[in-house]
C-alpha cells in the first residue's frame, strides 16, 4: 500500500534513495519491517539521554552528588525494556541479546561524558556530578528530540539535542546540533552520508530562523566519546531536488543493483527482482561466508531442522526463478527454524528467500540472524 500522507524527505530516506532508488521505494510500501540489535540499543541509549536531560531536579540539594549513576541506570533499564518489546513485536527480528545491555551502559556513559565536555568539565567521575552541575547542563539544552521541518513541509529531520554554546563571558555564542551516534566512530573523517545528514539538520535550522546565531552540527560518537563536526555547503537545494525525485509513485523507482547497494544492507531483497539476476550474472551468487539465496524446499524434517533444498536461478527480469538441480541440506535453527515452520504451516509453497545464511560449508546454516521470507518480487510495473 502506498503511503498517503504528505511526502517528506528525511536524511535517512535521502541516503536510501541515493544508495538505490528501488530500495527507497520498497521501504515505503508497508512491507514487513526488520528489527536489529544495534538499532534497538541505539534507540534505548538516545531515549535515556533525552530522559536524563529532562529529569526534574526541583527541590533537590544543589550539592547532592552520587545520584547520577543509579538514576542513569534505572532510566536506561526502562528504555531497554521498552525497546525489547518493540523489537519482539517487529515482524522480522533476530534474537534479542540481553548481554548487550553492558554495551548500552557504556554508550550512555559516553554520551554523559560528552555533555560534561560541553560545559568544560571533561573526565569527571559520575559519582561526583552534583545536582547543580546537571542543572547547568540542562540550562544549555534548547531542544531535545525535536522535529525539524522546512517551512514548505518538504524536508524533515529529527535532531537529538540542540545545545547553546556559551562564550567565556557567559554569552550565547551559537547553537550546536549534537547528533548522538552509537555506531562505529569514523576514522579520519565523517562518512559523506553522515556529513550530509548533519548539514541537513544545520541548514533546516538556519532556514527556519531569521536571525540565528552561528550554527554547528556535530556527530557525537558515544563509543569513543569523539565529536565530529559536519563541514560543507548548504544542502537544501540538493535535498529539495531529492524530495522531488522521491515522490511516492505506484510504479517502482529504478533499481541500481551492485555491490555497494545490494551488497550492503538492503532489507528489501525478498521483494526486489534485480539482485538475484545481478548476483547470478556477476558470478557472486552464494559466495562469501554469509550470503543470500532463493531456494525450493523438497523435504523438511522438523525434529532435526534439516531441509533438503534446491537452489534457484533467475530465468527472467522480473524475479522469475527455476530450480537449477543444485540440491543440498540446510540446517535451520533458532528463529530461522521457527519462521520456516510458520511459513510451511501457513501452507507456503514455492521459492523462499534466505538472507545472510552461512554458505561457506556443505550444509548451509540458517540461524536466528537470518531472514526467511516467501520469495515475492514486485515487478517493475508495480503490484
Site for ligand SF4 in 10-49 (CB under 6 A): 20, 22-23, 26
- Cβ nearer to ligand SF4, comparing 92 with 274: 274
Q: How many CB atoms lie within 10 A of CB 187?
A: 6
Residue 294 makes contact with ligand SF4 by CB under 6 A:
no
Tell me if 269 contacts ligand SF4 by CB under 6 A: yes
Q: Is 361 helix (H, G, I), strand (E, B) or coil?
A: coil
Output 227 or 286, the one with its CB closest to ligand SF4. 286
Does position 157 interact with ligand SF4 (CB under 6 A)? The reply is no
**Residue 1: in which H helix or E strand, if any?**
none
- C-alpha cell, 278: 545481478
Q: How far is the CB of 181 from ligand SF4 (least distance, A)?
A: 23
What whole-number distance in Å separates Cα of residue 99 and Cα of residue 104? 9
222-261: which residues touch ligand SF4 (CB under 6 A)? 255, 257, 261
Q: Output 27 or 71, the one with its CB closest to ligand SF4.
A: 27
Minimum gap (Å) between residue 348 Cβ and ligand SF4: 21
94: left (phi over 0), alpha (psi -120 to 50) or beta: beta
The residue (of 174 and 374) whose beta carbon lies closer to ligand SF4 is 374
**291 lies in the binding site for ligand SF4 (CB under 6 A):** no
Phi, psi values for residue 324, rounded to 5° = -110, 15
> How near is the Cβ of 216 to ligand SF4 at its closest, in Å?
33
Give the CA distances from residue 78 to residues 100, 101, 200, in Å, rounded to whole numbers and listed in that order: 15, 12, 31
Q: Which is nearer to ligand SF4, 26 or 44 (CB)?
A: 26
Instruction: For 192-239, give the DSSP string.
Output: HHHHHHHHHHHHHHHHH-SS---EEEEEEETTTTEEEE--SS--HHHH
354 belongs to the binding site for ligand SF4 (CB under 6 A):
no
Based on the shown chain and the rule CB under 6 A, indicate whether residue 355 belongs to the binding site for ligand SF4.
no
Three-class SS of 133-156: HHHHHHHCEEEEEEEEECCCCCEE
Give the residue, chosen from 46, 274, 279, 335, that forms a contact with ligand SF4 under the rule CB under 6 A. 274
Closest contact distance (angstroms) between CB of 8 and ligand SF4 is: 21
Instruction: Specify the residue, 129 or 266, whose C-beta has the smaller distance to ligand SF4.
Output: 266
Q: Which is nearer to ligand SF4, 56 or 381 (CB)?
A: 381
Closest distance of CB 248 from ligand SF4, Å: 16
Q: Which residue stretch of 38-46, 48-56, 128-136, 264-272 sits at the interface with ligand SF4 (rule: CB under 6 A)?
A: 264-272
Q: Nearest Cα to 104, choosing from 157, 26, 176, 45?
A: 45
Among 275, 332, 353, 375, binds ligand SF4 (CB under 6 A): 275
Q: Is 272 in the site for ligand SF4 (CB under 6 A)?
A: yes
The DSSP-derived string for 268-333 is TGGG-SHHHHHHHHHT-TT-SSEEEEEEEEEEEETTTTEEEEEEEEE-SSSS-EEEEEEEEEEEE-
Interaction of residue 268 with ligand SF4, rule CB under 6 A? yes
- C-alpha to C-alpha distance for 293 and 281, rounded to whole angstroms: 14
Tell me if 377 sits within 8 A of 269, measured CB to CB: no
Name the minimum Å distance from CB 277 to ligand SF4: 10
- Closest to ligand SF4 by CB, 21 or 219: 21
- Determine which residue in the list 72, 156, 239, 262 makes contact with ligand SF4, applying CB under 6 A: 262
Distance CA 250, CA 379 (A): 12
**CB of residue 366 to ligand SF4, shortest distance in Å:** 19
Beta bridge partners of 86: none
- The residues binding ligand SF4 (CB under 6 A) are 20, 22-23, 26, 255, 257, 261-262, 266, 268-269, 272, 274-275
Amino acid at each position: 500500500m502506498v503511503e498517503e500522507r504528505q511526502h517528506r524527505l528525511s536524511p535517512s530516506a535521502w541516503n536510501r534513495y541515493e544508495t538505490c532508488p528501488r530500495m527507497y521505494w520498497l521501504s515505503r510500501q508497508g512491507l514487513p519491517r526488520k528489527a536489529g540489535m544495534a538499532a534497538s540499543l541505539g534507540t534505548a541509549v538516545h531515549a535515556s539521554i533525552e530522559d536524563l536531560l529532562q529529569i526534574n531536579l526541583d527541590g533537590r540539594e544543589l550539592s547532592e552528588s552520587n545520584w547520577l549513576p543509579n538514576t542513569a541506570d534505572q532510566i536506561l533499564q526502562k528504555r531497554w525494556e521498552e525497546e525489547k518489546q518493540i523489537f519482539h513485536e517487529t515482524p522480522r527480528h533476530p534474537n534479542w541479546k540481553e548481554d548487550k545491555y553492558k554495551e548500552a551502559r557504556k554508550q550512555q556513559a559516553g554520551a554523559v561524558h560528552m555533555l560534561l565536555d560541553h560545559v568544560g568539565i571533561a573526565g569527571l567521575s559520575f559519582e561526583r556530578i552534583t545536582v547543580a552541575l546537571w542543572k547547568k547542563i540542562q540550562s544549555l539544552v534548547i531542544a531535545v528530540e525535536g522535529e525539524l521541518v522546512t517551512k514548505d513541509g518538504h524536508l524533515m529531520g529529527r535532531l537529538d539535542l540542540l545545545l547553546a554554546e556559551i562564550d567565556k563571558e557567559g554569552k550565547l555564542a551559537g547553537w550546536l546540533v549534537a547528533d548522538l551516534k552509537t555506531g562505529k566512530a569514523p576514522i579520519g573523517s565523517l562518512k559523506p552520508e553522515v556529513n550530509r545528514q548533519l548539514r541537513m539538520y544545520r541548514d533546516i535550522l538556519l532556514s527556519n530562523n531569521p536571525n540565528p546565531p552561528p550554527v554547528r552540527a556535530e556527530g557525537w560518537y558515544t563509543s569513543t566519546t569523539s565529536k565530529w563536526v559536519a563541514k560543507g555547503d548548504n544542502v537544501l537545494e540538493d535535498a529539495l531536488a531529492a524530495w522531488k525525485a522521491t515522490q511516492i509513485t505506484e510504479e517502482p523507482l529504478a533499481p541500481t543493483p551492485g555491490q555497494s547497494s545490494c551488497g550492503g544492507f538492503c532489507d528489501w531483497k525478498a521483494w526486489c527482482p534485480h539482485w538475484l539476476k545481478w548476483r547470478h550474472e556477476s558470478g557472486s551468487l552464494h559466495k562469501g561466508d554469509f550470503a543470500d539465496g532463493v531456494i525450493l524446499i523438497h523435504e523438511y524434517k522438523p525434529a532435526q531442522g534439516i531441509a533438503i533444498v534446491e537452489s534457484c536461478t533467475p530465468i527472467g527480469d522480473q524475479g522469475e526463478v527455476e530450480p537449477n538441480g543444485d540440491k543440498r541440506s540446510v540446517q535451520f535453527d533458532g528463529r530461522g527454524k521457527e519462521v520456516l515452520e510458520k511459513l510451511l504451516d501457513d501452507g507456503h509453497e514455492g521459492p523462499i528467500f534466505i538472507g545472510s545464511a552461512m554458505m561457506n560449508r556443505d550444509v548451509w546454516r540458517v540461524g536466528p540472524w537470518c531472514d526467511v521470507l516467501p520469495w515475492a518480487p514486485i515487478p517493475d510495473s508495480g503490484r
